[in-house]
């Protein structure tokens, strides 16, 4: 039931199981299972199972399963399964499955599948499947499939398929299929 146990002051829970248990002060949960367990204060969850379990304070999750499991404080997840599992604090994931599994704190993933699995802290991935798997800390990947798999720490890949596979630490690849 919506807002059933320990619903905080000034909260909104709309939908079956929305904000069901321990919804923080001024939190908003809209949709089946949105903000269901331990939603932080001032957090917003909109969509089926958005922010479902342990959504941090001031976090925002919009979309089916967005930020659904352990979304950090001030994190933003927009899109189907964006930031869905262990999204770090202050991280941003926008797009289908962007930053969906273990996105580091302060990381940014924009585009479908960008930063999808094990994106390092402070890493940036922009473009379809950019920095998709194991993007290192402080790494930057901009372009379709740029830095797609195993991009090293502090590496930079800019361009279509630039630095696509196993780009080393501190490496730079700029241009179509560079690196």
Between the CA atoms of 56, 62, 67 and 69, what dihedral angle is there, to the nearest 10 degrees? 90
Strand partners, 44: 28, 60
Which of 64, 52, 60 lies closest to 23, judged by CA? Answer: 52
Checking if the pLDDT of 6 tops 90, the result is no
3-state secondary structure 94-117: ECCCCCCEEECCCCEEECCCCCCE
pTM exceeding the 0.85 threshold for the entire prediction: yes
The whole-number pLDDT of residue 4 equals 84
pLDDT tens digits, 59-81: 999 999 999 999 999 999 999 99
In contact, 151 and 129? CB cutoff 8 Å: no
User: Which residue from 101, 94, 96, 124 is spatially nearest to 112, judged by alpha carbons?
Assistant: 96
User: What are the pLDDT digits (tens) for 98-118?
Assistant: 999 999 999 999 999 999 999
**Sheet with 60-62: strands ordered across:** 12-14, 28-30, 44-46, 60-62, 76-78, 92-94, 108-110, 124-126, 140-142, 156-158, 172-174
Report residue 91 CA to chain centroid gap.
6
């Amino acid at each position: 039931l919506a807002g059933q146990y320990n619903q905080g002051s000034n909260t909104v829970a709309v939908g079956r199981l929305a904000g069901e248990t321990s919804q923080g002060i001024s939190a908003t949960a809209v949709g089946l299972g949105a903000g269901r367990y331990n939603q932080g204060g001032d957090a917003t969850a909109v969509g089926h199972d958005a922010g479902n379990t342990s959504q941090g304070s001031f976090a925002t999750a919009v979309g089916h399963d967005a930020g659904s499991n352990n979304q950090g404080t001030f994190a933003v997840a927009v899109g189907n399964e964006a930031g869905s599992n262990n999204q770090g604090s202050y991280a941003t994931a926008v797009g289908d499955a962007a930053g969906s599994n273990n996105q580091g704190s302060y990381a940014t993933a924009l585009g479908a599948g960008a930063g999808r699995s094990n994106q390092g802290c402070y890493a940036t991935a922009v473009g379809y499947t950019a920095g998709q798997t194991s993007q290192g800390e402080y790494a930057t990947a901009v372009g379709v499939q740029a830095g797609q798999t195993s991009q090293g720490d502090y590496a930079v890949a800019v361009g279509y398929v630039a630095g696509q596979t196993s780009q080393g630490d501190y490496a730079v690849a700029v241009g179509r299929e560079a690196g």
